[in-house]
């Protein structure tokens, strides 16, 4: 995912590691911590913080969320590079508006806090919404909305995920659980296929994680 270009001087405590400098043209910019580079494209700490606020990444509770979020932004940048290569149809304005609304709802009343801390603005948020829709369109076109799974795979999913089909301590009969088990097995297959694809993209890319500053 292309990084957010910082446009503010004052940062919240989330970005205390950033250093302010003056460009030769006199415009104030921000030199901040780069957490990864994907084929030369930097991902910054502000990118990570904004992505977490927008719900673009899923991070585990407890501990430092930055490494997990960074890894997902690396994957996202790899996907965006593929989107740029194959150019799926552009999403329409209404779809982008709806996605912007969902991301803003995620932030809620913290919009000013997030924009101050990360440099995110309305223009960049709209571009992020466009990227989300392009990635979804590309994945659906390349990998389908659902993978076809055989009966044996459905039965295996049912038997290995018994807790999902247990109600009030009683395991649902397979015949009753089969439609849901088939849908979830297909989703699992699709996720595994996409994960392997990303693994292959990563292997061909130049991904660098700069050492943390002490």
Q: In which region does residue 51 sit, left (phi positive, over 0), alpha (psi from -120 to 50) or beta (all else)?
A: alpha
Specify whether 49 is located in the same domain as 136: yes
Q: Identify whether 211 is part of a domain.
A: no
CA distance 191 to 40: 27
Specify whether 126 is located in the same domain as 155: no
Single out the residue in 93, 109, 143 at which a domain terminates.
143
CA distance 146 to 140: 8
**Both structure tokens of 110:** 């913290």
Residue 116: give the domain boundaries. Answer: 1-143
Kindly report the CATH number assigned to the domain that includes residue 35.
Answer: 1.10.4030.10
Q: Identify whether 212 is part of a domain.
A: no
Q: Identify whether 60 is part of a domain.
A: yes
Specify whether 129 is located in the same domain as 151: no
CA distance 155 to 161: 10
CA distance 18 to 4: 14
Specify whether 173 is located in the same domain as 123: no
- pTM value? 0.78
Specify whether 73 is located in the same domain as 116: yes
Q: How many CB atoms lie within 10 A of CB 49?
A: 22
- Which residues, 6+ apart, have CB-to-CB distance to 169 below 8 Å? none
**Both structure tokens of 213:** 């500053």
Q: Identify whether 99 is part of a domain.
A: yes
Q: How far is CA 196 from CA 48, 77, 86, 138, 199, in A?
A: 24, 16, 19, 16, 5
pLDDT tens track of the chain, all 214 residues? 444 433 332 333 333 333 222 223 333 334 589 999 999 999 999 999 999 999 999 988 888 999 999 999 999 999 999 999 999 999 999 999 999 999 999 999 999 999 999 999 999 999 999 999 999 999 999 998 777 899 999 999 999 999 999 999 999 999 999 999 999 999 999 999 999 999 999 999 999 999 876 5
């Amino acid at each position: 995912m292309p990084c957010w270009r910082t446009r503010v001087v004052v940062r919240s405590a989330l970005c205390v590691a950033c250093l302010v400098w003056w460009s030769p043209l006199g415009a104030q910019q921000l030199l901040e911590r780069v957490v990864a580079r994907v084929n030369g494209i930097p991902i910054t700490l502000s990118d990570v913080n904004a992505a977490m606020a927008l719900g673009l990444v899923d991070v585990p509770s407890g501990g430092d969320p930055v490494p997990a979020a960074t890894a997902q932004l690396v994957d996202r940048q790899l996907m965006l590079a593929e989107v740029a290569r194959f150019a799926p149809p552009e999403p329409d304005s209404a779809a982008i508006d709806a996605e912007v609304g969902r991301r803003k709802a995620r932030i809620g009343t913290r919009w000013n806090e997030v924009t101050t801390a990360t440099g995110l603005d309305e223009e960049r948020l709209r571009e992020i919404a466009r990227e989300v829709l392009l990635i979804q369109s590309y994945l659906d076109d390349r990998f389908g909305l659902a993978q076809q799974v055989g009966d044996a795979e459905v039965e295996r999913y049912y038997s290995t995920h018994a807790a999902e089909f247990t109600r009030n301590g009683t395991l649902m009969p397979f015949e009753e659980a089969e439609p849901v088990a088939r849908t979830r097995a297909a989703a699992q297959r699709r996720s595994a296929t996409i994960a392997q694809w990303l693994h292959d993209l990563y292997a061909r890319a130049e991904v660098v994680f700069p050492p943390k500053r002490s």
